[in-house]
Structure 1
């Protein structure tokens, strides 16, 4: 069998055939490009149209189906921020609608799906679904859905972020996707994403617009309600103002209540209206005003079982209809006869007064077309408060008018009585002022009166610098002796006599005043020269020199006087009083029964005391005080039997100071107690090595210590800590210390005596009642004052010899020891030995020295 070979093509024919093929391919590309362009235009049109999301998705599906096989198609949107996936569109012939477009799925919910893995892979993929699943790391059967013959998906991206995927798949053999289909679907994916986001943005905007519209509608409704409420409130406020204004009117009761009725009628239907008030005793119900459309007549009645009484008992607003009234009648709360004509609707609000319910305001309807509402009840309740307030103000005004009328009548009756009372009161005020400004004991002006006169005198001097006055500050010498020794009655009589004598020594406008206790002051208002003040002081002292007869005794009284002349430097009364008091103190220190004129020297002295006070405080802190010891010897052989501890101050600039240079200032400033305790500690510690077993340490006790009941224990504890036994300790007291508070001194010295401490009376013989002290206090030793020892050994020491001999005899009879102080010469020693004195102390035997110099 032979075969015929085709005739070879002519080269020209071959060229034309190639051109035809290229032309056909170009036509196909153009057709494909046209289809793609139409699809993109359709997508853009649908995105800009008013289609809903589902219609848009269906349109996108149709557009993509024009470009490739897309019977099975879905769009998945990914929200990276929220971590969710939403299947906006899902069309599948095998799986139907396994994903709802309105539901969001979390990453955990779609963890083992091809969709999530494709989004995470962020790249296009094409091929059988099982192969893609394996490529994405999913086990067989975990891709979700029916496996497909061919599957193609491309990501929808923006700014390198995957926002979803487009996917198509085929379940038919021979129906597969090409690389070209993948490029087309990838190209379309961006436009689909734009369309989806645009539609979602449009829907979100529409939702926001709808929500905002609803919010505005709601706000408009609320605003309209607020406007209506504001109008109601304004109307209500106007009504309340009208009711309040009625209380200030001068109309009668009928016009007043009618005005209330009209005001209430503007708020609610008040065709039938009444106001019921309880009587003051709560037994009766009055109807000062009522209008009733049924023609009923409301008369005053005892409190019973009417509806008004029921509202008063309940003390709250009541809104009841006819049936509820019948129920109240059945319950016995309301009496049908008292209630009267039945009302279709009854509304009553209690009138609340200061003491509770005072009445009730009632509106009622007899018409079937008029029923009061809860809003009417609220209005009437609100209005009832204003009605009650208005009624109370009107009642108070009426009561006030009645009271004014009664008062007017009583004024005339009281006028004469008040005039008499005014006279009595003026007399009493004068007497009271005199009592307030004068001393009750002496009748003299008191400190308050004197300060007032001094203030006027200072003010007058400021206006007229040439004007001068003087202030005399007086103190009765030894007045405490009169009080303590003779009793307060004698002391009071002494003060009355002294004040009368002072008053005799001055003339008007000068005044004598009692400041306190035994302190007096004399104000000389016109005293141009200090000489004039001195003359008055001399006259007062001369007058006091006369003996006073009191209680059968003749007493001799003297006064010390400090004088301060007015000066321009004085700005206050206290400054003037201070300077006069300073001069008085100097007069008393100089020996009493004298006067001293204040000058700059005294001022400087007072300032020196202040400076010295600060220096002594510094001395305590810096340990500048030292303990010195003076020996006490036995005269027969000169052996030392003890030491008296004496304080010295090693001043940083003035050198070594003796007690007389600073202790008086310490007593004035109150530092003496702190200095004493400091000294006791120094003395006990330093003397522990001097005393041995048979020597005594003498320490001096200031009067201030007798104010503390704890003094004995504290002193004994201090001595014990330093190694000084109680029986080696001797405390020396002066007679003035015992006089200050004898009872306290007896108790404290008794406690020391019981503990074994020796008690010595220092400067014996210089006091006022030395012999009484010997008997009263537990003394062991008498120390004869140096003033009696100094004359011994001279040419004529008879008086001193007699005194010393008497003291020695007294001490021997009472078994007391004696120490002679101030022995400085051998003649004094011999005289004392000849009289039988055993112990002595003085410079002859040794001057005070530190413990280190004596050991």
Structure 2
């Protein structure tokens, strides 16, 4: 029976609104609403700031079924279902703030009453939001405090403090979390069934056990510490309360405390020790929050102690292995040193060669040479001496020396420098050898600096003629040059000589130009000849700058210049067009790595030769870098012309090459862009050609792809999707949906498969097919997988009933990681999910590459009670070959085979029956995927298949769907 209500006058409404504004709690709002509606039927109010958790009620004492009905009602209203008239929803905040009234009889729908309830609901949403924010702040503060403590524990474990000092630090950290003035840590040795009190602090029983002695556990039988070890359960409370908690009689050792809290330090069900705090102060009580906090800290204390023990054990093992590895290390060091020396020498030669064309002054040039040589040998004291053109004078072009300051020119005499110039051979001597040269009359002692202990010089040779010497010397007794140093300096001297010669030629050319300008009236004929020579040299230099030295083709600089000209021509003549072919030699790195760089260079030369024959004037063939080439077609009227050229190039490079006595087969991937008035810069042309080349590689190489707007939009879409994936990870938009796995005999749910979904803020829920490939290519898939694993394990606590399990899809890259099993077990343990309730699914592609690594990981997971299933069985040839070697609990027959069932197709029945028989012979469970019809269900059941999955039973749904329905 409905009751009519009087909403009151305008003044009463204003009073009601004032009361709402003054209300600071949900209860105050409900009381104000009750006063405004005195004739309303009796109602039960329920509210929560984080619905459906932490639900409060008025009157208090609401039962569990009533809460469940209220949760279902809110979910039904959100889904758009018809509301129950016995419920009045005051507010429903998407962030979790919900308040509703459960009425004894349906409420009237008068507009005035609806406005009062709407005002109360709006105020209720604000109050619940504030409560949620206050709760969040408190949780964050507690988490921050605990995290700082855990960081401090980690720092202690990694510090160099001795064990007693580290344990005192642990005591201080625990004291910062709770009252822990009386605190001890006891470590359990299962082999000796004994305890060692590693740390003990007590204000009453000040004389504690010796930390270096083990106490048999039998001496502590039936005491609190004994129960912590035996039962592995935390204990808390007064002595009377503790007697009710232990599994037997209790023996009190030492002074009785007013309150006592102890937790076991355990991992994987095994107890390694205990942490205990106690209070002798009346009124001081530990809480369940303290118990949970101490249990959490105990795990990290155990980890810290294990890390310290592991580090000590590692140091001992390292010391043992040091002697065994000494000889191997010396050999390896020698080989590494040789390779590094070769790399440094090559880099030094390249750098010196690069200086030849630089515009630096002579002083800067020699200083750069000094710096480069100094990276190879000890060149703190160095000089470069040059012989004059007439051979009568030694000029020191550059010098840096600790002792000698006078480096002025000197006549050709009998010094070590002159000795090297005469012999044209490198020379390395110490003080005794210098004295021997002096006695033999080759060297005058006046030319040798007295503090010199070791001297090394190499001639600068040009066409077999010595033009100078580069020399280094050392003044320390232990700084001796050796043959390796002499070899390095000799290589460097050849490059320096060549570079000097080129710089001299350039300087001479510049000087000649100046002289020609001064004598232009007197020597016109000679000036013209020299100008011609200069133009020729400049043309050669320009050719070197604009062409590739290996193939002789134009380089990237030249190509860019030609593209700029072509674009300018397009702007002048809009009807014209040109094309650019971006060419990449397929698998050239394999040729380089297997046959060597010399053969690789010959291959590049042959490629350049064939490309040149594939085009006509005025088309340009250029080498951009490495194995990348380009062809510029300046007169292209239709894309068909560019396609024909691309086909000719592919055909030309497919013909085998005879290189260094070996037959080499090559192919090419080509990206083609036809340029019209839409292009304004060279970078845009190169970019689009490169995009088309990338797509040609994706399509399997040895082909060409024409660039178009669709390809451009696809590339931009991939880049945008990569950015959105990063945003999705940052904002936690990825979540698992769950599809049930059923037993075919009775359709009972035995488990759930966790399937990846992306809650996109604009596009809604996306399946993996919409983004998985981009996530894998951009390197973000692993982070997404681990987040899904974590959420699925956390959901398993509420989703799974007894005997059920949840399965996770694991990519081949993850399963081959040696630490995958340990990390997955840590995720499950952190989520509170038992390992036996967790399964993983791998695909047959896991068996490609390194199947042994995957087998090792699966075996370790099975040992930890985590079973494995082979997904999409039958879609690859690798299944039957490796099925017997994999530690599998289940195979999942691919849906393509199940789709053929139920239509009397004998062949489909035979194939599926054979798969089931094979699995049964290997003692492996079978699950059929993609069951959509009752006929398929019946056929599989008749063939002996035990489990199934598909739309016939249910679609994949979010966690809330399953928990609400439960």
TM-score normalised by length of structure 1: 0.40
The structure with the larger Rg is 1
TM-score with structure 2 length normalisation?
0.36
